[in-house]
Structure 1
Amino acid sequence: MTISYNWLCDYLPVKPTPEELSVILTRIGLEVESLEQFESVKGSLEGLVIGEVLTVAPHPNADKLRLTTVNTGKGEPLHIVCGAPNVAVGQKVVIAPIGATIYPASGELLTMKKAKIRGEESHGMICAEDEIGLGGSHAGIMVLDPSLQPGTPAREVFKPVQDWVYEIGLTPNRMDAMSHLGVAKDVCAYLNNTENTLNNKALVPVLTALPKAATPLSISVAIENQDACPRYSGISITGVKIAPSPDWLKNKLLAIGVRPINNIVDITNFILHETGQPLHAFDADAITGNKVIVKNLPQNTLFVTLDEKERKLDAADLMICNGNSEPMCIAGVFGGLRSGVTDATQNIFLESAWFSPASIRPTSFRHGLRTDAAARFEKGVDISNTVYVLQRAAALICELAGGEAASEVIDVYPQPKQQTEVTSTWSYIRKLSGKAYPEDKIVNILSSLGFGILERDGEKLRVSVPYSKPDISIPADIVEEVMRIDGLDNIEIPSQVLITPAANAKPDKEKVREKAANYLAANGFNEIFTNSITNSKYFTREVLERTVKMINSLSADLDVMRPSMLETGLESVSHNLNRRNDNLLFFEFGNTYAVQEQGKYEETAHLSLYLTGQKRTESWMHKAEPVDFFFLKGYVQNLFHQLGINGLQWAEEETDGLQSGWQIRVKNKPVVNLGAVSASKLKQFDIKQPVWFADINWNIVLGLLQKSDNFYKEIPKFPAVRRDLALILDKQVKFAAVEAAAKTVKSALLQDLNLFDVFESEKLGANKKSYAVSFTFQDAQKTLTDKEIDSVMEKLVKAFEGQLQAEIRK
Structure 2
Amino acid sequence: MTISYHWLHEYLPETIEPEKLSRILTSIGLEVESLEKFESIRGGLAGLVIGEVLSCEPHPNADKLKLTRVDVGAAEPLQIVCGAANVAAGQKVVVAQIGTTIYPLNGDPLTMEKRKIRGEESQGMICAEDEIGLGADHAGILVLPARAVTGAPASDYFDTYSDWVYEIGLTPNRMDAMSHYGVARDVCAWLSHHQGEARPRSPFTNAFKTDDTSATIQVTVENTEACPRYSGVSLSGLTVAESPQWLRNRLQAIGQRPINNIVDITNYILHETGQPLHAFDAGQTGNAVIVKNLPEGTPFVTLDEKERKLSAEDLMICNSKGEGMCLGGVFGGARSGVSNTTTQIFLESACFNPVTIRKTSLRHGLRTDAATRFEKGVDISQTVNVLKRAALLIKEVAGGTISGEIVDYYPDPKPKKEVVLKNHYLKKLSGKNYHPDKVKRILTALGFEIIKEGQDDLHIAVPYSKPDISIQADIVEEVLRIDGLDNIEIPSSITISPAVEQLGFTEALKNKIADYLVGQGFTEILTNSITNSKYFSEAVLDRSVKMINNLSADLDVLRPSMVETGLEAIAYNINRRNQHLRLFEFGKIYLSEAVGKYSEQERLCIYLTGLDHEDGWQEKGQKQDLYRIKGIAEALFALCGLASVTFEKTEDPGLVLSISHNKKLVGVLTETGKKKLQDFDIKQPVFILDIDFALLASLVKKHRITYAEVNRFPVMQRDLAMVVSQTVSYDAIENAVRKTKLGKLTGMRLFDVFESDKLGAGKKSMAISFTFSDEEKTLTDKEVDGMIAKLVQSFEKELGAEIRK
Deviations 1:186-217 (A, max 9, x none): 0000000002x3x3111112426357556710
**Counterparts of 1:472 and 1:439, CA distance in 2:** 20
How far did 1:24 drift?
0.4
Partner of 1:183: 183
**Counterparts of 2:236 and 2:206, CA distance in 1:** 18
1:326 aligns with 2:331: no
**Counterparts of 2:437 and 2:311, CA distance in 1:** 52
**Counterparts of 2:109 and 2:141, CA distance in 1:** 18
Deviations 1:323-360 (A, max 9, x none): 12110000000000111111111110000000000100
Task: Give the alignment of 1:348-427 within 5 angstroms.
Answer: 348-427=345-424
Task: Give the alignment of 1:442-481 within 5 angstroms.
Answer: 442-481=439-478
**Counterparts of 2:415 and 2:202, CA distance in 1:** 24
Partner of 2:127: 127
Give the stretch that moved more between structures: 455-464 or 178-187: 455-464
- Per the alignment, in what secondary structure is the counterpart of residue 351 of structure 1? strand
Partner of 2:236: 238
- Per the alignment, in what secondary structure is the counterpart of residue 90 of structure 1? coil
- Per the alignment, in what secondary structure is the counterpart of residue 62 of structure 1? coil
Match of 2:337 among 340, 349, 354: 340
**Counterparts of 2:494 and 2:465, CA distance in 1:** 38
Code of the residue aligned with 1:439 in structure 2: it is P
Deviations 1:725-758 (A, max 9, x none): xxxxxxxxxxxxxxxxxxxxxxxxxxxxxxxxxx
**Counterparts of 2:340 and 2:386, CA distance in 1:** 24
Code of the residue aligned with 1:51 in structure 2: it is G
Largest Rg, 1 or 2:
1
**Counterparts of 1:464 and 1:364, CA distance in 2:** 31
**Counterparts of 1:156 and 1:316, CA distance in 2:** 54
Partner of 1:800: none
Code of the residue aligned with 1:298 in structure 2: it is P
How far did 1:322 drift?
1.1
- Per the alignment, in what secondary structure is the counterpart of residue 453 of structure 1? strand
**Counterparts of 1:28 and 1:463, CA distance in 2:** 21
Count of matched residue pairs? 497
Partner of 1:105: 105
How far did 1:48 drift?
1.1
- Per the alignment, in what secondary structure is the counterpart of residue 493 of structure 1? coil
Q: Structure 1 pair 495/210, CA: closer, same or farther in 2 (3 Å)?
A: closer
- Per the alignment, in what secondary structure is the counterpart of residue 94 of structure 1? strand
- Per the alignment, in what secondary structure is the counterpart of residue 303 of structure 2? coil
User: Which segments of 5 or more consecutive residues in structure 1 lack a partner in the other structure?
Assistant: 501-810
**Counterparts of 1:334 and 1:20, CA distance in 2:** 38
Q: Structure 1 pair 435/212, CA: closer, same or farther in 2 (3 Å)?
A: closer
Task: Give the alignment of 1:469-548 within 5 angstroms.
Answer: 469-497=466-494
1:30 aligns with 2:30: yes
How far did 1:254 drift?
0.7
- Per the alignment, in what secondary structure is the counterpart of residue 277 of structure 1? coil
Task: Give the alignment of 1:715-754 within 5 angstroms.
Answer: none
Q: Structure 1 pair 365/76, CA: closer, same or farther in 2 (3 Å)?
A: same
Identical positions, percent: 65
How far did 1:218 drift?
1.7
Code of the residue aligned with 2:52 in structure 1: it is E
How far did 1:417 drift?
0.3
How far did 1:46 drift?
1.2
**Counterparts of 2:107 and 2:495, CA distance in 1:** 66
Deviations 1:152-193 (A, max 9, x none): 222233231111111111000000000000000000000000
Partner of 2:158: 158
- Per the alignment, in what secondary structure is the counterpart of residue 64 of structure 1? coil
Partner of 1:277: 275
- Per the alignment, in what secondary structure is the counterpart of residue 214 of structure 2? coil
- Per the alignment, in what secondary structure is the counterpart of residue 482 of structure 1? helix
- Whether the 8 Å CA contact 1:207–1:395 is kept in 2: the answer is no
User: Which segments of 5 or more consecutive residues in structure 2 lack a partner in the other structure?
Assistant: 498-805
Task: Give the alignment of 1:561-710 within 5 angstroms.
Answer: none
How far did 1:142 drift?
2.8
Q: TM-score, normalised by structure 2?
A: 0.60
Give the stretch that moved more between structures: 472-481 or 153-162: 153-162
- Whether the 8 Å CA contact 1:208–1:395 is kept in 2: the answer is no
- Per the alignment, in what secondary structure is the counterpart of residue 375 of structure 1? helix
**Counterparts of 2:341 and 2:150, CA distance in 1:** 44
Deviations 1:405-424 (A, max 9, x none): 01011100000000011111
**Counterparts of 2:299 and 2:98, CA distance in 1:** 63
**Counterparts of 1:283 and 1:255, CA distance in 2:** 28
- Whether the 8 Å CA contact 1:6–1:164 is kept in 2: the answer is yes
How far did 1:260 drift?
0.6
**Counterparts of 1:301 and 1:148, CA distance in 2:** 59
Partner of 1:46: 46
Match of 1:220 among 218, 221, 229: 218
Partner of 2:294: 297
Code of the residue aligned with 1:91 in structure 2: it is Q
How far did 1:94 drift?
1.4
Deviations 1:574-600 (A, max 9, x none): xxxxxxxxxxxxxxxxxxxxxxxxxxx
How far did 1:287 drift?
1.0
- Per the alignment, in what secondary structure is the counterpart of residue 325 of structure 2? strand
- Whether the 8 Å CA contact 1:245–1:262 is kept in 2: the answer is yes
Deviations 1:279-308 (A, max 9, x none): 0000001113x1111101110000000110
Code of the residue aligned with 2:61 in structure 1: it is N
Structure 1 vs Structure 2 CA RMSD: 1.7
- Per the alignment, in what secondary structure is the counterpart of residue 495 of structure 1? coil
**Counterparts of 1:208 and 1:245, CA distance in 2:** 24
Code of the residue aligned with 2:465 in structure 1: it is S
Code of the residue aligned with 1:24 in structure 2: it is I
Partner of 1:553: none
**Counterparts of 1:25 and 1:173, CA distance in 2:** 16
Deviations 1:595-619 (A, max 9, x none): xxxxxxxxxxxxxxxxxxxxxxxxx
Match of 1:256 among 254, 267, 275: 254
Code of the residue aligned with 1:336 in structure 2: it is G
